[in-house]
Structure 1
Amino acid sequence: MSRFDPRGKANRALLAGVSEYDHTAPDPQGVAGQLPAVRHNRTALEDALHRGGVFGAGEVRTLASPAPDDFTGALRRACREARGLLLLYFAGHAVTSTSGSELHLQMRTARVLTGHGLPGSVSFSQVLAELAESNAEQVVVILDCCYAGNAAGIWHRFDDPKRKKHKILLLMSVQPNRCILGGDADVATPFTRELTHALDAGGEVWLSGLYAAVKERMAAAKYRAEDDDPQRPQALAPPWDPEADVLLAAGPGSTETESDSSGGSWFTWLRGVFAGGREAGDRGAGDRGAGDGRAGDGKAGAGKAGARNAGAGKAGARKAGDRKAGVRKTGARQARRRKRPAPSGRMASAVLLALLATGAGGYGILALTGESAPCGPPLELRVLTDLDLEPVTRAAADAYVASDANTTGDGCRRSGVTVNSAGAAAVVTALGERTDAWQQPREDDNPQRDIGPQPDVWIPATRADVDRVTSAAARQDRVFARLEPQDGPLAYSPVVLAVPKARGAGLAPTGRSLAELLADLEQADATTELHRSDPESTDSALLATMGLYGDEPGARGAADARAAELRLARTARPEPSAARLLCTLPGDHAVDGRSAALVPEFLLKTGIGCHPATRVPRVAAYPDDVPGLEPAFVRVRWEDGDRDAEARDDAVNRFRTWLTGADGRAVLGEHGFRSATGERGLLDKASAPEGLTESVRPAGRADPSTMERALERYGNAHGPGRVLFLLDSSGSMAGRWDGSSGGPGILKQTLPGLGGEDEYGVWAVHGTGDRTHTELLPFGTHERSAAEHALDKAEVRDAEADPSGALRDALEFMRERGSDDERPQLIVHLTDGEDDGRLAGKALDDVLDRARDAGVPVAMVSLSSSGCDQGRPAPRIAEAGRGRCLDVGDDLVPDVHDEVARTGMGEE
């Protein structure tokens, strides 16, 4: 990105601020409350942008509490109209999905439905998709909401084959996995307040300087996020290089006064009025008992804890329809509980408290009174778990927090529990190798941002993860976290092959390896697809991958990782969790009906966040060479984390005792788990769904070194790739040669799917004798410009072609190159099909046999509309080589690009 001055261009700014919501608490489907401070955000930022001189008349549009359709419509319009800079701002409630992989911006009509999605919300991925396709040269997104920092991870995971997302820069109000407070009713929220001050600083304000100024001002003001954490703004792809920046304002000078981090002069005045009222009341009422002058419900976790949850992003304070374990009530709801009539000496104070409760939230009440509720703020336990285990861990935490075991004799909660999840491989790496960065995050290495807060308790899906962490930590000079695993697993859930009931009738449920089960399934119906989630994200997918690769000790036979990966359904990217996988399959009923999935068994009972009526019923087959899930309870102790060690140890021990006792086992049973010992019977047999075996013989336990080896092989199988292009250069191609829709032009458009580490080459296919091709581009790594130059020089030959000979040579060529590693490979054969007559009889059979044995997918690309018709050679070769057949009836160029991009690493 070059230094970008948008003045004089067609710029657009879209400012969406949701201050009013149709559904709020106490409605169980409502967000936590209204956000009156956001009204000031809209006007303050709009005025600052007008004063800045970058955006002209009519180029700044504000949306006051829009519905989703209003927001997306305005966004699309801004994307069409902007030719220079497009600035998108959002303030309001936001939540993340259960896995944390998506951020949902909640519009005016937002509701929270348990397990059934988030109506009235717009996903940040959808926003990114619109912005990436916009006509703007540069895009700046500013988010002032809960979980704003999570947008950075979504940006990184965003599928961007056209390399358009890099024009999008993000400025976020808080670090990932954090909620923010709602601010005061009479002023803008803290982040936006400091943002507008920085924009009004005078002179040119570039994005790099704006971020630095806002960060400095917020640190100086000591703004706090939820749980009393510092609120620290974040930036994605910050333009630190002076030659790579975006101008946001160019005003003549400052028009704003210094901010008051306490909320402004009204707050100071109000505190004085309240103090005077309190003194008068105390003189008239005399001495009272400690409880009489305090508000709140002992079991609500009021006081400081309640105050922290009263604000803006708190509506979205919980992931995808889920409230935090140990829910604390908002200030407005606390105020409604205050039934005591105020004495006459305190009437003014009572009125002010009511105003604060409905406007500024609990923070204002406590800041003014300086008093606490009968129950002090409970200690908050931080629990980190596997993505697949998050729903059941959260359910257990909810039940524990509300239980007698977590309640004192005075009816107060002892602790709350925050459950967070992250990718299993990333967690193992962070706990084993990056605990120093977790303690002291850096811009380039920040587990607190990428994974979550330092956990007190870690619940991995298998005890082997603990050994992996310990082994990695032993190689470090200094480790800042110590793991203390509890003996024995909490429960057991086998990893199963979940097969549509209609296709699994003849499948032996036990006593077979995964390879044998898949062979049986494929023999019964060759159209069956196999799906698996991301092995780097969840242990269940990694354990299943060990079975696919034949990596489990004692497994019968061994598989090549590249060949094993070819057995899986071809998707743009694997889903991050098995729950997400089972939720996406029903999106296409035909796909759902022919798809087998490698998932933890417990998900077949509890289901996932999509409506069960849309899902194809499945039966479980139990491969005996795939280890099952055995969740472990691990205490994590942090260096210099002993300030409240005794209280934290007590809270951890109480949670562990409850979780391993009858009540905890009941929750695990409700979610489909089995006993961790004996015959591994279901903990809740009464409600077991059809298709499950009553008892199972568990496979061997997961081995740490085998898991690491499988991850390495998976990485190799998805690492730098090899692609060989065969370009039909015979005389019949003359009319399909020039331009972007001609043979060389189509191949040129696939090159962005290949990166600097990928190896590829181009053969010109012509000739019917001993030599069936010539080399246009030598096989190896290339600069894109060199590859394009070679294709530009390609010529049609006055000759016929022998595609069977060229394909045989290509399959042998690629087999030799892939003999020593597991890197992904692909052959792309592009032709008009005029010489298909030579792909018949023995010649075709020979090609089909080689395609089956080579382990190299073959993409057959036909410039004929009938090239992939049933019975033609192209689809038969593609099927034999586990590739695809594409013709002009498909969206040809994007589809060929996607095939290449799945094999290659893409341009950096």
Structure 2
Amino acid sequence: MSRFDPRGKANRALLAGVSEYDHTAPDPQGVAGQLPAVRHNRTTLEDALHRGGVFGAGEVRTLASPAPDDFTGALRRACREARGLLLLYFAGHAVTSTSGNELHLQMRTARVLTGHGLPGSVSFSQVLGELAESHAEQVVVILDCCYAGNAAGIWHRFDDPKRKKHKILLLMSVQPNRCILGGDADVATPFTRELTRALDAGGDVWLSELYAAVKERMAAAKYRAEDDDPQRPQALAPPWDPEADVLLAAGPAMPPPPLAGDPWLLRLRALLTRGAGEGSGRKGGTPRTGASGTGAGEAGAPNAGAGRAGGREGGTRKTGASGTGAGEARGRKAGAGEAGVGEADAPNAGAGEAGGREGLAPGTGVRKARARKSAARSGRIVPAVLLALLVTGAGGYGILALTGESAPCGPSLELRVLTDPDLEPVIRAAADAYVTSDANTTGDGCRRSGVTVNSAGAVAVVTALGERTDAWQQPREDDNPQRDIGPQPDVWIPATRADVDRVTSAAAREDRVFARLEPQDGPLAYSPVVLAVPKARGAGLDPTGRSLAELHADLERADAATELHRSDPESTDSALLATVGLYGDEPGARGAAHARAAERRLARTARPEPSAARLLCTLPGDHAVDGRSTALVPEFLLKTGIGCHPATRVPRVAAYPDDVPGLEPAFVRVRWEDGDRDAEARDDAVDRFRTWLTGTDGRTVLGEHGFRSATGERGLLDAASAPEGLAESVRPARRADPSTMDRALERYGNAHGPGRVLFLLDSSGSMAGRWDGSSGGPGILKQTLPGLGGEDEYGVWAVHGTGDRTHTTLLTFGTHERSAAEQALDKAEVRDAEADPSGALRDALDFMRERGTDERPQLIVYLTDGEDDGRLTGKALEDVVDRARGAGAPVAMVSLSSSGCDQGRPAPRIAEAGRGRCLDVGDDLVPALHDEVARTGTGEE
């Protein structure tokens, strides 16, 4: 392994944080308790990774309290998609098997059964198996859970005959056979807190440096694990060789310390002014035994309640049972309240409210009681100590621990916001600014609400909100929007209001709908979908007042090597709206051919990028490609840029097609049936966020990211910092139409759905020397068959004869098992006859025209040695060329002659007329032909 810099690659980070569990103590099958601190783990680490510059837009996915299927499904998807770095993070409860040889990560549905059954858990060995088979070059696993250190032993014992596990590195929150504490509800757990601080240190942060920094920070803070053991993070095999390391962040440094008006300092001042002489806010210092205690379980009973913060994160060591949190079967007294209700001097009595906080030994109710008595004797000592801690940099937890007082701010309500992948970085930036704003801060300096932003494919979201809201509330194995999209949103911000109409139309056809949409009047902002043209190629281009087809035709006339790129229309609205412009409004069969032709004009790629940001991120990987590529993207990306590897990018200017609708993000409140338990508080939080986002502060953030005004001349909200190449004002194109978007989506699906391929194999006598083996005619065609799937229709004609009959059928046109098609080609024979290529091609073009009334992709492949090209001249050639232009089925002319595609030969003329390719033995013929067939078919890419 060498020093690995993943920037610019297809990276993925999957952050699974289980903060809420369905089964908790005192349920005898439940886990120790809830883990509210893990909510902060998810958001703080996600933000740190976004700031770090290694992971780009759409490359970080969080899973909020997933069920096992949600987790494994997302893991498999990340393993498929990652080509560079794959980072997997897990925080939540975990237990070991009785022997200690397996670590079980407990998901939301986790239970603990008699006999050590652990439904709702995922074994770490299973996780290693998925990661080892991933496409990623390098994998980093970060575990913040009980027994995290046991993962190293499982890695060493993992059966790995293919030697794939060595790309997997582990970073673990605690040493083997140790439980950690559940953390405070107001902050992330100690390990993740220090991890994100180290990631935010600024500059390049390598894994080896990250581990050293976290280890040093945790030692200095003297964080404690269960039984008052020090909590020491672990790594798989430190120290790393300097040449065998992984870059995890390359971002800017952390902002300076908060100023005097910071909400945290306001909270501190409120705490100081309370005075320690009040017995920490309780009359006479009497400990509470109700609201925040653990419950008065029987002494020594397993799974006694874990207290307000959920107790420790895990179970009774090496038993497979979930832990006790406050008391254990080893003679400890179960706690009931913060000071415990067991014997006054019993060791570790009652973990209670603060028993799950970082840095404090668990179950120290007696010591806390003594601390409160000491504090009561001198009302001046505590403020002095607090100020000393503040000066020396001690964390807020140390302050709270010394006072024995809960934080003055309770946990804030969390808003769930769902948006389009192209918009996610912008909405996330706005949410971050809002969360720390005065609008979201009470007079006591407390946060009113948090905001979690995630994105999912636009088509999937429209379908789920319109047709699958029942499954969103009650997921099924085969239908689980919570797994495929994310948690039920409070707010949806689609890229266009037309999406709301598409959802409403679909919902009207459903018997029962469990979500109601309440869109706000008017869009939040505006951003046109533009043709981002390399500056050198756009010099003579009139950027406005023309259709997309006209703009692109001008670019192609100036340079035929110009490439057109677009991201996935099923993932983002910007790509779907661009597709509306590409396809136009041609009806019927003519429109089907037009859609197919439009797709053929796009640059050939294995699969479309999931977002426009990702598209712009991949182009600079090849400077020559970047220089000749135009891209259909939202205009705002030309200002804000993209979060991937810094590279010298070709500067681009914007051309504004007048037939492509622009982005007009809408703010939509989503109300869920039976979701009214905290409706008033949630409505208030949504209203505050909407008011801020549509006000001056929100418009400032949108302007900084390159958006325009939603009304008037659509001027840039931040015109002062507009990059070169953007228009000062733009005339908006027609608004997005729901039915037009649905139609374009259907046509796109058809154009990329099951295809039709007709193979023409020259079987005349001159082919006798080019017939046998893998480089012969039948052998070449056999090597293209993997590009076809079971739903594709295809057939093979043997071309021979010069009279009325120009071919015979080797394989009837239809769907086939590959073995049947191979057998048909194996039986093909050379005929003692000449061939008439013009007659065979006319028949083939007519045959495919009759089948081309829909938008399914089509292709004609003619493979020949060119010996009969004398019959492809004059009127015969012109007739074939004319038919090829209007057939809608591209013709791939494949010549076994080295000069078959030379200028002036008939093959390149026919291929060009039908927007196909001409290939001869001077090309890498077999792979190129396979790619052509695979672009039409649904088999292997």
TM-score (norm 2): 0.62
1:380–1:417 contact (8 Å) kept in structure 2: yes
Q: 1:669 to 1:782 in 2, by over 3 A?
A: same
Moved more, 624-633 or 580-589: 580-589
Residues 91-118 of structure 1: per-residue CA shift (max 9 Å, x gap): 9999999999999999999999999999
Change in CA separation of 1:270 and 1:724 when aligned onto 2, cut-off 3 Å: same
Q: How far, CA to CA, are the matches of 2:733 and 2:290 in structure 1?
A: 52
Q: C-alpha distance in 1, partners of 2:917/2:125?
A: 28
Say if 1:390 and 1:90 are closer, same or farther in 2 by CA, change over 3 A: closer
Using a 3 Å threshold, how does the CA distance of structure 1 residues 406 and 142 change in structure 2: closer, same or farther?
closer
Q: CA separation of 1:335/1:422 partners in 2, compared to 1, >3 Å: closer, same or farther?
A: farther
- Bigger shift: residues 290-299 or 22-31: 22-31
Question: Alignment partner of 2:881: what SS?
Answer: helix
Deviation, 1:389, is 0.7
Residue 885 of structure 1: how far off its partner (Å) = 3.1
- Give the Cα separation in 2 of the matches to 1:266 and 1:537: 40
Q: Is the 8 A contact 1:513 1:625 kept in 2?
A: yes
Distance 1:749 1:195, change over 3 A: farther
Range with bigger deviation, 123-132 or 628-637: 123-132
| 2:182 partner SS | coil
Deviates more, 1:422-431 or 1:345-354: 345-354
Gaps of 5+ in 1: 253-261, 274-282
Q: Specify whether residues 327 and 55 from structure 1 end up closer, same or farther in structure 2 by C-alpha distance, changes over 3 A only.
A: closer
Cα deviation for residue 519 of structure 1 reads 2.7
Given that residues 98 and 320 in structure 2 are in contact (C-alpha distance below 8 angstroms), is that contact kept between their aligned partners in structure 1? no
Percent identical pairs in the alignment equals 91
Preserved contact between residue 276 and residue 376 of structure 2 (Cα < 8 Å): no
- Name the CA shift for 1:387/1:7 in 2 (closer, same or farther; >3 Å): closer
Residues 750-759 or 117-126, more deviating: 117-126
Report the CA distance shift for 1:96/1:577 in structure 2 as closer, same or farther (over 3 A): farther
> Equivalent residue for 1:313?
307
CA distance in 2 between counterparts of 1:411 and 1:396 reads 20
Q: Which residue of structure 2 lines up, in the alignment, with residue 276 of structure 1? A: none
Q: Deviations over 1:397-450 (max 9, x none)?
A: 111111111111122211111110111111000000001111111111010111
Q: Using a 3 Å threshold, how does the CA distance of structure 1 residues 864 and 579 change in structure 2: closer, same or farther?
A: same
For the 8 Å contact 1:99–1:421, the answer to whether it is kept is no
> Structure 1 residues 234 and 141 mapped into 2: Cα distance closer, same or farther (>3 Å)?
same
Q: Separation in 1 of the partners of 2:243 and 2:608?
A: 37
Q: CA contact under 8 A between 1:826 and 1:903: conserved in structure 2?
A: yes
For the Cα contact (< 8 Å) 2:420–2:494, is it kept in 1? yes
Q: Take 1:565 and 1:898, find their aligned partners in 2: how far apart are those partners?
A: 15
Q: How many aligned positions are there? A: 888
Which moved further from structure 2: 648-657 or 61-70? Answer: 61-70
Separation (CA, whole Å) in 1 of partners of 2:119 and 2:50: 34
CA contact 1:627–1:699 (8 Å) conserved in 2: yes
**Against the structure 1 CA distance between its residues 106 and 483, is the aligned structure 2 distance closer, same or farther, given a 3 Å change threshold?**
closer
Q: What is the SS of the residue equivalent to 1:307? A: coil
Assess if the C-alpha contact under 8 Å between 1:65 and 1:107 holds in 2. Answer: yes
Contact 1:180 1:314 in 2 (8 A): no
Q: 1:39 to 1:630 in 2, by over 3 A?
A: closer
Q: Does structure 2 conserve the Cα–Cα contact (< 8 Å) formed by 1:93 and 1:313?
A: no
Is the alpha carbon distance of 1:605 and 1:792 closer, same or farther for their aligned partners in structure 2, counting shifts above 3 Å?
same
Note the C-alpha offset of 1:526: 2.5
Q: In structure 1, which of residues 489, 506, 509 is the aligned counterpart of residue 540 of structure 2?
A: 506
- Give the equivalent residue in structure 2 for 1:862: 895
Contact 1:17 1:42 survives alignment (8 Å)? yes
Q: Deviations over 1:722-779 (max 9, x none)?
A: 1001112223333332333332223223223223322111011223444332111111
Quickly say closer, same or farther: Cα 1:796–1:618, change in 2 above 3 A: same
- Find the aligned partners of 1:231 and 1:649 in 2 and give their Cα distance: 41
Q: Indicate the larger mover: 51-60 or 707-716.
A: 51-60
2:681 is aligned with 1:687? no
- Answer whether contact 2:2 2:243 (CA < 8 A) is retained: yes
Q: Name the CA distance, whole Å, in 1 between partners of 2:177 and 2:574.
A: 24
Q: Is the counterpart of residue 292 in structure 1 residue 286 in structure 2?
A: yes
Give, in angstroms, the shift of residue 263 of structure 1. Answer: 40
Which shows bigger deviation, 564-573 or 100-109? Answer: 100-109
Moved more, 43-52 or 584-593: 43-52
Q: Is the 8 A contact 1:227 1:305 kept in 2?
A: no
CA contact (8 A) 1:94 1:313 kept: no
Structure-2 separation of matches of 1:699 and 1:724? 41
Distance 1:207 1:880, change over 3 A: same
Q: Distance in 2 between matches of 1:854 and 1:803?
A: 17
User: Which structure 1 residue ranges, 4+ long, deviate > 6 Å from structure 2?
Assistant: 1-252, 262-273, 283-286, 288-332, 334-371, 552-559
Deviation, structure 1 residue 11: 28
Cα offset, 1:599, TM superposition: 1.3
Q: Which residue is 1:264 aligned to?
A: 262
State the distance in 2 between where 1:846 and 1:650 align. 71
**1:326-364 Cα distance to aligned partner (Å, 9 max, x none):** 9999999x9999999999999999999999999999999
Q: Is the 8 A contact 1:179 1:313 kept in 2?
A: no
* Cα separation, partners in 2 of 1:286 and 1:174, compared to 1, 3 Å: closer
Q: Which moved more, 1:123-132 or 1:691-700?
A: 123-132
Indicate if the aligned counterparts of 1:44 and 1:196 stay in contact, CA closer than 8 A: yes
Counterpart contact for 1:100–1:421, Cα < 8 Å: no
How has the CA–CA distance of structure 1 residues 297 and 895 changed in structure 2, closer, same or farther, with 3 Å as cutoff? farther
Q: 1:147 to 1:169 in 2, by over 3 A?
A: same
Partner Cα distance (1:113, 1:502) in 2: 68
Question: Residues 528 and 173 (structure 1 numbering): CA distance in 2 closer, same or farther, change over 3 Å?
Answer: farther
1:264–1:471: structure 2 CA closer, same or farther, 3 Å change rule?
closer
Q: What is residue 99 of structure 1 aligned with on the other side? A: 99
Structure-2 change in CA distance of 1:123 and 1:347 (3 Å): farther
Distance of aligned partners of 1:263 and 1:425 in 2 relative to their CA distance in 1, 3 Å threshold: same
2:352 corresponds in structure 1 to none
Q: 1:220 to 1:827 in 2, by over 3 A?
A: farther
Alignment partners' CA distance in 1, 2:627 and 2:119: 27
1:724 aligned counterpart, secondary structure:
strand
CA spacing shift, 1:62–1:791, aligned 2, 3 Å: same
Task: State which drifts further: 664-673 or 504-513.
Answer: 504-513
State the distance in 2 between where 1:110 and 1:338 align. Answer: 38
Q: CA deviation at 1:720?
A: 1.6
1:402-441 matches, cutoff 5 A: 402-441=436-475
Give the conservation status (yes or no) of the 8 Å contact 2:32–2:325.
no
Alpha-carbon contact 1:298-1:412 (below 8 Å) kept: no
Report how far residue 848 of structure 1 moved: 3.0
Mean CA deviation greater in 878-887 or 303-312: 303-312
- Say if 1:380 and 1:568 are closer, same or farther in 2 by CA, change over 3 A: same
DSSP-derived class of the 1:604 partner = helix
**Distance of 2:567 and 2:267 partners within structure 1:** 57
| Comparing 569-578 and 21-30, the one that deviates more | 21-30
Deviates more, 1:752-761 or 1:573-582: 752-761
Larger mean CA deviation between 425-434 and 191-200 belongs to 191-200
Partner of 2:374: helix, strand, or coil? coil
Deviates more, 1:221-230 or 1:616-625: 221-230
Q: In 2, Cα distance between the equivalents of 1:90 and 1:18? A: 8
Secondary structure at the aligned position of 1:62 is classed as strand
- 1:330 corresponding residue in structure 2: 324
Quickly say closer, same or farther: Cα 1:15–1:397, change in 2 above 3 A.
closer
Query: Residues 387, 193 of structure 1: CA spacing in aligned structure 2 closer, same or farther, 3 A cutoff?
Result: closer
C-alpha displacement at 1:809, in angstroms? Answer: 2.3
Task: Please tell me whether Structure 1 or Structure 2 has the larger radius of gyration of its CA atoms.
Answer: 2
1:8 offset after TM fit, Å? Answer: 42
Cα deviation 1:661-695 (Å, max 9, x = unaligned):
01110111111111001111111111111111111
Q: 1:105 to 1:317 in 2, by over 3 A?
A: farther
In the superposition, relative to structure 1, how do residues 192 and 528 fare at CA in structure 2: closer, same or farther (>3 Å)?
closer
**Contact 2:466/2:507 (<8 A) preserved:** yes
CA–CA distance in 2 between the matches of 1:99 and 1:725? 62
Shift of the 57–502 alpha-carbon distance from structure 1 to 2, 3 Å rule, reads: closer
1:641 Cα deviation from its structure 2 partner? 1.1
1:381-396 matches, cutoff 5 A: 381-396=415-430
Following superposition, the deviation at residue 902 of structure 1 comes to 1.8
Q: 1:844 to 1:324 in 2, by over 3 A?
A: farther
Distance in 2 separating the partners of 1:78 and 1:657: 36
For 1:2 and 1:324, the matched residues in 2 are separated by 37
Alpha carbons 1:98, 1:320 under 8 Å: kept: no
